[in-house]
Amino acid sequence: MARPNVRERIIEAGLKCLLERGFNAVGVQEITSSAGVPKGSFYNHFESKEALGAEVIERYGTGVRRREVLGEKSVAPLLRLRRYFEALNATFVGSKFQRGCLLGNFSAELSNQSELIRGGLRGMYARWTKDLEAVIKDAQDEGTISNKTSAADLAGFLLDAYEGALLRARVERSSAPFDRFMHLAFTQILI
Higher pLDDT, 71 or 31: 31
> Which residues of the chain does CATH 1.10.357.10 include?
66-189
Q: Residue 4: what pLDDT?
A: 64
- Residue 23 and residue 55 in contact, taking contact as beta carbons nearer than 8 Å: no
H runs (alpha helix) in the chain: 6-21, 28-35, 39-45, 49-63, 66-70, 77-94, 102-110, 115-142, 151-172, 176-184
Superfamily in which the 6-58 domain is placed by CATH: Homeodomain-like (1.10.10.60)
156-182 tens-digit pLDDT: 999 999 999 998 998 898 999 999 999
Residues of the chain with CATH 1.10.10.60: 6-58
Residue 66: its pLDDT value, please?
A: 76
Distance CA 152, CA 157 (A): 9
pLDDT for the residue numbered 64: 60
Count the Cβ atoms, other than its own, within 10 Å of residue 6. 17
Return the pLDDT at 153. Answer: 98
Domain 66-189 adopts which CATH fold?
A: Tetracycline Repressor; domain 2 (1.10.357)
Predicted confidence band of residue 60 (pLDDT cuts 50, 70, 90)? confident
| Rounded Cα gap, residues 152 and 73, in angstroms | 19
Q: Report the alpha-carbon angle 137-141-143, nearest 5.
A: 110
The DSSP output letter for 99 is -
